[in-house]
Amino acid sequence: MKLSFFRSLATTLVVLATSFSPVMMQASEASEVNVYSYRKPQLIDPMFEVFTEQTSIKVNSVFAKKGMLERLKSEGRNSPADLVFTVDIGRLSDIKDAGLTQPVDRVQVDGNIPAHYRDPEGHWFGLTTRARVIVASKDRVGPGEIGSYEDLADPKWQGRVCTRSGKHPYMVALTASMIAHHGEAEARKWLAGLKSNLARKPQGNDRAQVKAIKEGECDLAVINHYYMVKMLKDPEQVAWANAVNMVFPNQDGQGTHMNVSGMALTRHAPNKANAIKLMEFLASAQGQEMYVQKNGEYPVKAGVPLSALQNSWGSFKADSLSLAVVADHRAAAIRLADEVGYNN
Amino acid sequence: MASVISTGQGENPHEHLRRPRRALNWWTGGAILLAALAVMPVAAVLVFAFGDSGDIWTHLVKTSLFGYVKTTLWLMLGVGVSVLVTGVSTAWVVTMCRFPGRKVFEWLLLLPLAMPAYVIAYAYTDLLEFAGPVQGLLRTIFGWQTARDYFFPEIRSLGGAIMMMGLVLYPYVYLLARSAFLEQSVNVLEASRTLGRGPWRTFSSVSLPAARPAIAIGASLALMETLNDYGTVDFFAVYTMTAGLVDVWLGMGSLAGGAQIATTMLVFVVLLIMLERMSRRHQKLYQQAGSRYKPLPAYRLRGAKALAAVTACALPVLAGFVIPVAVLGRLTLIYFDRAWTPEFQVYVFNSVALSAAAAAIALTIALFVAYSRRLHGGKLLAFGTRVATLGYAVPGAVLAVGILVPFAAFDNAVDALLRQTLGISSGLLLSGTVGAVLFAYVVRFLAIAMGQVESSLEKVSPSMDMAARTLGYRAGQTLVRYHLPLIRGGMLTAAMIVFVDCMKELPATLLLRPFNFDTLATHVYEFASDEMLGEASLGSLTIVGVGLIPVVLLSRMVSRTRQTLGESAGQTQ
């Protein structure tokens, strides 16, 4: 009598546990690809839908802002993830360094993506580039007053600059590129100078900085270019975008700092063939064009037509520094942000 | 949230009646196993903390750790003061005074409990930011143009965070202080009055000290919630230890470094728990027997005093519930079409199903463990229970790591074993499934269920157990046939509180959920952190709405406390 209760309880618990298991739900190789993504679903789902239409391969994606790397590490060889999509170079290199990727060597991918936007060993690939631009208030900053990242540390901008957290991957990559170009000592001076020019404690995302310029809290901000595209499409935010001019920095020098959103094939990808097909699709002309049209990002593939808005900005000199080098300096960049107390 | 409406005595008063039994049996063994499972994430965190973290630790100590600790301490101090002031004053006024609307305020004051801190933060940001209606109105009236023309306090700051958390956490103190005031001995109060002390002096010298343990428990619970919060501090860019932990873990990729911060946080947590437990012991001393049937003296308030009382009660309700709901309501109306999608309905279902399942599981486990303690007692079980309830105070993100890694290790081990012996792959059994999220919820909120079940069981006299045993019923049957009906009310309370807390949980859900699985909380967070507060409003309002149901039922139970105590006292005598 006593035991039967526990037997039934144990059975129930086991059934409960395994009923949630994806073992039941594993489909055959032919039908799906699993994606772990740092990119928000609304930014990449349109591409996946077209891919599914064309190839009948279903794309399952999970979006997480944090903790993806740890999850991949602990899932190990049983991880269902085939592809990892990231929003910047940092996570791509972190995943490769953790030994969670495998190299891909396909002409359709390599041929479409320039060498400085992909891993020399083929572990990760940039899919789109984003320029980190400076936006300046139309009312309070004259044309030509600001032209480079280095200028941001100039004391004349004291209390007039807004940025997001100095430890956010986009800012870290910028700092890392400063380290790569100028060395750590100079980069620390620059970062400290920028910090002392801040109008308020770093908060919010890039769009919030433009909003702050519109509201008069500051005059300069550093954002990724595609936010301008997005804000111009949003009825509430178009006013923010119209309050600023966009400047591609360092046109006379090393060029504007570029970051990439990218993809990597996981080491134990269960649906490897499907995943590579998806990679090829996204690197192809069609996939690249969708990125341009839907998100306003710059394509990595040469020859893809830009949007009207992007054409109106004109062409600009992009930093040709290899992103793998930028990735190498990220740890130092984060340390610098802590040392100058950037977020305090 | 361990014992909401009961006196919550720390030890079983019938300890001396227990006889030592065979040490290991189904009850004890099962209970210890369950307690061990609940402790596993915390233990895992500690194990990682002593792992290899490179020179992250030294770097941390040199730069940001003290900043994190300082910010956390300020936050806790601010929240502690505000919940104490709000909770105690409203509890007193509502219990001891008579003024228009008192009966309504009794339960109205509970409403902010349904609101997660991050939701109220989003609502007030929308209201008070530069582009919001308040500053807009000010600019229209005074003709200011830009932010530099005038001073307006920044909501996204430490002060703002203190205000937000104070507004949603004071109900913990309110509930406990109120039940303490309700249970105070009328005889002592009357004696104090006959000695010539007016109402205020009676309050400060008699009622307040007697209620101090209950108030301390409420405050420590509120502070635990403060330590745990991630959504608000992330949104407001307030760098507490939780934010630092996530930063080190994910920004620097050092799990061990993050776990070290977590261990530091556990020190705080242990202190808070000690405060809470000590207070429970004092509660037992201060509780008076008898005179529960006499009505408490009621101070009739008139005129200005009545107005003051009404204002004091109305302010927390307005600020903590009415205004945020109004703000969110307005946004919901504007953004409804964009927010009400089929996906949204799935999120609702996910949230409700997950929370209900977690509540059921937590309650079952709590019942089993509490009953085992009742049957067999023993130091091991007592220690196991105490340690198992630590999960409540562990921040969700840390818990997620402490669960993810062992689960995955288990999955990989089972898989490797199966590969070797049977040549098949079992894939992932636990990690990346809904089960992982459920486990996190149960571990985090087991303390609530445990505390409530324990205190409810304590009210049942052991003579009941003994009578049932002499009638031939075994332990399990006694539990099902006799104890459960008696403690039904308490269990329902616990289930509801666990349900509400699960609906609001954010960081652990974010990290542990499976493919294409979103709850209302993660959906709201995603949009809000992208500065799309409008689209997040419907989800926020839904969380609050669903969270209201148990809060309202709880409040009705609370208002019957005094009579219930009388009844159960009659039953157990």
How large is the ipTM?
A: 0.71
CA B460 to chain centre: 26
What is the fold of A131-257+318-339? D-Maltodextrin-Binding Protein; domain 2 (3.40.190)
Token pair in block for residue B443: 């571990």
Tell if the CB–CB gap between B516 and A69 is shorter than 8 Å. Answer: no
Residue B261 in contact with residue B245, Cβ under 8 Å?
A: yes
So what's the pLDDT on residue B534? 85
- Listed by start position, the domains of chain A span 30-129+259-304, 131-257+318-339
- Residue B178 tokens read as 């109120």
Return d(Cα A175, Cα B251) in angstroms, integer. Answer: 14
A203 contacts B236? CB cut-off 8 A: yes
Give the distance, in angstroms, between the CA of residue B283 and the centroid of all CA atoms in the same chain: 20
Span B29-54, mean pLDDT?
78
The predicted structure's pLDDT at residue B561: 61
CA dist B442 → B318, B390, B437 (Å): 33, 12, 9
Chain B's closest residue to A239, CA to CA, is B131
* Predicted confidence (pLDDT) at residue B80 exceeds the cutoff of 80: yes
Residue ranges in B459-528 assigned as alpha helix (H): 462-470, 475-478, 484-504, 507-512, 520-528
Residue A306 identity: L
Return the bridge partners of A133, or none. Answer: A223
Place of tokens 């992103």: A323
Of the candidates A80, A202, A341, which has its C-beta nearest B432's C-beta? A80
A266 forms bridges with which residues in the sheet?
A101
Is A67 within 8 Å of chain B by CB?
A: yes
A29 and B CB contact within 8 Å: no
- The answer to whether A16 contacts chain B (CB < 8 Å) is yes
CB distance A20–B433 less than 8 Å?
Answer: yes
Q: How many CB atoms lie within 10 A of CB B285?
A: 9
What is the C-alpha separation between B279 and B3, in angstroms, rounded?
12
**Closest residue in A to B364 (Cα–Cα):** A9
User: Which residues are CB-contacts of B363 (< 8 A; sequence separation ≥ 6)?
Assistant: B449, B453, B491, B494, B495, B498
A32-37/A58-63 β-pairing:
parallel
Q: Do B64 and A338 touch (CB under 8 A)?
A: yes
B140 is written with which tokens?
């229209």
List the beta bridge partners of residue A135: A221, A246
Three-state secondary-structure class, residue A222: strand
pLDDT for position A171: 93
Kindly state whether A22 is in contact with chain B, defined as any CB-CB distance less than 8 angstroms.
yes
List the single residue in A6, A78, A201 with the smallest CB-CB distance to B412. A78
Residue of A15, A24, A66 to mutate, interface with B, max B Cβ within 10 Å: A66
**Inter-chain CB proximity B252 and A16 less than 8 Å:** no
Tell me the mean pLDDT in the region B375-381.
Answer: 82
Average pLDDT, chain B: 81
Torsion of CA A230, A232, A238, A239, to 10 degrees: 120
Q: Which residues contact A120 (CB under 8 A, 6 or more apart)?
A: A322, A324
Inter-chain touch B252–A203, beta carbons under 8 Å: no
8-state DSSP, B300: E
Band of residue B286 on the pLDDT scale cut at 50, 70, 90: low
Query: What does the pLDDT read at residue B311?
Result: 92
**Residue corresponding to tokens 């400063």:** A178
User: Can you list the domains of chain B with their CATH numbers?
Assistant: 56-252+283-339 (1.10.3720.10)
Which pLDDT does position B361 carry in this prediction? 94
Closest CA to B321 of B550, B115, B28, B43: B115
Which SS3 state, helix, strand or coil, does residue B529 take?
A: coil
Q: How far apart are CA A227 and CA B531, in angstroms?
A: 12
Which of A18, A78, A203 comes nearest B415 by C-beta? A78
Mutate to test the interface with B, among A65, A82, A139, A334 (most CBs of B within 10 A): A65
Please state whether beta strands A124-137 and A298-299 pair in parallel, antiparallel, or not at all (unpaired). Answer: antiparallel
Tens digits of residue pLDDT in B402-423: 887 788 778 888 888 888 888 7
Whether the domain at A30-129+259-304 and the domain at A131-257+318-339 fall into the same CATH topology = yes
For B79, the token pair is 């929240």
Best to test chain B binding among A14, A33, A62, A74 (most B CBs inside 10 Å): A74
* CA nearest to A34, candidates B429, B525, B514: B514
pLDDT at site B572:
35
Chain B residues close to A40, C-beta within 8 Å: 526, 530
Query: B91 — phi, psi (to 5°)?
Result: -60, -45
- Provide, as residue numbers in chain A, all residues whose Cβ is less than 8 Å from the Cβ of B64: 338
Chain B hits for A70, Cβ within 8 Å: 249-250, 255, 401, 404-405
Residues with Cβ < 8 Å from A111, sequence gap 6 or more? none
Looking at residue B490, what is its pLDDT? 81
Bridge partners for A84 per DSSP: A36, A264
Q: Residue A89 and residue A85: Cα distance in Å, rounded? A: 11
Give average pLDDT by consecutive 10-residue segment, chain A, 344 residues: 61 57 43 88 87 91 74 78 89 88 86 88 91 93 90 92 90 94 94 92 88 89 91 86 92 91 92 92 90 87 87 88 90 88 84
Q: How far apart are CA B572 and CA B463, in angstroms?
A: 9
Residue whose C-alpha is closest to residue A221's, from A138, A304, A277, A283 = A138
What global pTM score does this model have? 0.79
Test the A interface: residue of B27, B250, B481 with most A CBs within 10 Å? B250
Calculate the alpha carbon distances from A193 to A95, A152, A186, A327, B194 in Å: 32, 8, 11, 23, 70
A contact residues 93-112, partner B, Cβ 8 Å cutoff = 94, 98
3-state secondary structure of B21: coil
Find the helix packing angle between B26-49 and B255-286, rounded to 10°. 130
Domain A30-129+259-304 carries which CATH code? 3.40.190.10
